[in-house]
């Protein structure tokens, strides 16, 4: 039997002084959250740390990665910040239609094409057990959770992760994909979660 386990971590808090610009890094709290993620997961043996190309995710990976010396880190488009955007809102609850209309065009992942590719890329079984750390964004994590729960496409909406929160999903031979943990913030102080 083989197992693939993905540890999906939302980046640390974005520095509000950057005006939430894509190139903005982490706040002091965000850097502390990133360090706590690394300390929480340091006993695990990851094949790789994959992170979004945006500065806040890359910085989170750099800080958390100090706790995984020798583990390769990769910036990649599969975990880039994106919003799954339906070309037809059929099946999406009416209450979300206006919000979806307001998603900037450059942030739209039309019919979740890129996110479906990310699940296909990471959610595969190899010859043995594999653990990977993905440092990414809220909607990306929501999409993975929606997928493993076999929920309707729209159900990524409202699955919100805290900055530094850890979600774990798993694929295992002969079993359906599984949600192991969702938005675990036990490693963060209550006021940081």
> Quick one: which H or E segment has residue 176?
strand 175-184
Task: Give the residue-averaged pLDDT of 76-102.
Answer: 95
Label residue 164 left, alpha or beta by phi (over 0 means left) and psi (-120 to 50 means alpha). Answer: left
Per-residue pLDDT reduced to its tens digit, 72-82 = 999 999 999 99
Cα Rg of the chain (Å, integer): 16
**Pairing between strand 166-172 and 175-184?**
antiparallel
Condensed to tens digits (0 to 9), the pLDDT of residues 123-179 reads 999 899 999 999 999 999 999 999 999 999 999 999 999 999 999 999 999 999 999
Q: Give me 7's structure tokens.
A: 């540890």
pLDDT of residue 167: 98
């Amino acid at each position: 039997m083989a197992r693939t386990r993905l540890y999906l971590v939302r980046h640390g808090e974005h520095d509000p002084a950057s005006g939430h610009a894509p190139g903005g890094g982490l706040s002091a709290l965000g850097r502390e959250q990133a360090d706590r993620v690394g300390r929480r997961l340091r006993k695990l043996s990851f094949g790789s740390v994959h992170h979004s190309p945006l500065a806040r995710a890359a910085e989170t990976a750099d800080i958390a990665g100090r706790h995984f010396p020798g583990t390769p880190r990769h910036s990649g488009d599969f975990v880039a910040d994106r919003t799954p955007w339906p070309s037809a809102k059929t099946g999406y609850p009416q209450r979300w239609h206006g919000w979806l209309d307001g998603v900037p065009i450059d942030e739209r992942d039309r019919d979740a094409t890129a996110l479906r590719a990310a699940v296909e890329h990471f959610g595969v079984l190899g010859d043995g057990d594999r653990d990977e750390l993905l440092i990414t964004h809220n909607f990306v994590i929501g999409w993975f959770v929606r997928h493993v729960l076999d929920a309707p496409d729209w159900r990524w909406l409202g699955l919100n992760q805290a900055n530094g929160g850890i979600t774990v999903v798993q694929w295992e031979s002969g079993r359906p994909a599984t949600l192991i943990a969702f938005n675990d913030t036990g490693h963060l102080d209550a006021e940081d979660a």
